[in-house]
Structure 1
């Protein structure tokens, strides 16, 4: 599909950069890439967390290094690329734009502008910066892969999640554009669009009020492990799939949004109000 031909699978023995690798999905990506024989530069805004992930990869027999990076800052992403050149045994051929934060619980018009800027800086500009810096390298090499961690939120547009929805929709659109631009280049592009994944996004984010409590309850009951999500994503990249939606509900939302968009929007609002009322 993307001109991979007889080349090795992008996830196999890769030289990878993973952003937001200090925990959750990012840490699971780093561990799985290491398990598949790859070498990983683990970046995170919290250096100690990135170092812990790198140590875990090494404990399991993989190669890994850590670096600090705030993906909202282009200079820091460029510095991360230079660090990857220094430590990885070969040029980067797999990029996981994963770093992300959560904001929710407040309607548009009441969401603090600072929350908009914070979310856009990490969830959207982080993916833009990662793509801006690494895509030319991959295109020149004519091989490799990119996984952008989007979300079902990128097309589900659930209420009280305005900043998060906007950033993930942007990340999805960017990924689709990259897939078109890189078609036939030997570089595979995949958008990861999960629903609930067992990570620290609620604890480390800015999800407030009833939405935070509802999120925790749904996560405890329906959340999928980061390890399973990551395995599905890397396998999808190897197949040349543009989209990977690991959970059944994500695939159902995708279909419903396209078949009955107005009914879907009304139903989503009613479900949200019913869920909130059950907490009170």
Structure 2
């Protein structure tokens, strides 16, 4: 058998592109899917300089688009070893303000996009006898900050789906991982839908001021995938906050989060 094969949705920019490059550096054949063909061409040129690579236009809101990729991988590369359901969008806004239309948009991409990818590629991996599905969630799927209800709900659902899949697919020799990063510097803010200008600005500020970039996160995620970790939290502070949530009595944790929320609102008011 030749090199291992990976497919990444949303692979033309941000974390997806950084992961594609990290896998290529490790000798994988890399297939990326995206809806931005311009960025896809740029990413593909980068990847081809490192080894075997392919780009396909892939809209994760369409099951047939993902099935088409699976069929291509089976016909041309004999299958796939790792699938990363990475494509996602950002959202911000309070429960009373964020529109139902925007809720449906976020759910269709962040949650159902992962469902479609997992459904399609679980079938392929069952047939080939092995595989690894990696779902990109967020620390917001474990810790739920205010003004991010739609985003938190979809990412929490991805965590729950991944836990279910890890049990359901174990007998088929299919590994599952779920990645829960905190904010890092990426182009995610480009896709944000917000109920108001303050929420939009706050999201962009959190992304732009993050200490780590996509390449650093990709390196940590790649190492954890290679080890077969289920929960992948690449930020040490994220792991610490998650531990506090699990260990503290809820009243104490809630009080801590209310203080953080008040501090965040004060900083937002100061601009």
Would the TM-score normalized by the shorter structure come out above 0.5? yes
Residues 1:177 and 2:167 aligned together = no
Separation of aligned partners in 1, 2:81 and 2:223: 16
- Note the C-alpha offset of 1:183: 2.3
Mapped partners of 2:191, 2:257: distance in 1: 25
In 2 relative to 1, CA 62–136 (structure 1 residues): closer, same or farther, beyond 3 Å? Answer: same
For residues 184 and 86 of structure 1, what CA distance do their matches in structure 2 show?
A: 25
- TM-score if structure 2 supplies the norm length? 0.91
> Which residue does 1:26 correspond to in 2?
16
CA drift of 1:129 comes to 0.2
Q: Provide the secondary structure at the position in 1 that maps to 2:229.
A: coil
Relative to structure 2, which stretch is displaced further, 34-43 or 263-272?
263-272
Q: Aligned to 2:262, which of 267, 273, 277? A: 273
Of residues 122-131 and 90-99 in structure 1, the stretch that sits farther from structure 2 once superposed is 90-99
Post-superposition CA distance 1:143-171 (Å, at most 9, x none)? 22111001110010111001100110111
Q: May I ask how many residue pairs the two structures share in their alignment?
A: 267
Secondary structure of the corresponding residue to residue 80 of structure 1: helix
Asked if structure 2 preserves the Cα contact closer than 8 Å seen for 1:15 and 1:90, the reply is no
Candidates 104, 116, 120, aligned match of 2:103 = 116
Q: 1:146 aligns with which of 121, 129, 133?
A: 133
Match status 1:226 vs 2:214: yes
Aligned to 1:263: 252
For 1:257, what is the secondary structure of its paired residue? Answer: helix
Check whether the contact 1:149–1:191 (CA below 8 A) recurs between aligned residues. Answer: yes
Q: Which runs of 5+ in 2 are unaligned?
A: none
| Deviations 1:178-235, CA, capped at 9 Å, x for gaps | 1112225432211111101211111222144333333344334433221222222222
Does residue 99 of structure 1 match 2:101?
no
Superposition deviation, residue 142 in structure 1: 2.4
TM-score (norm 1): 0.89
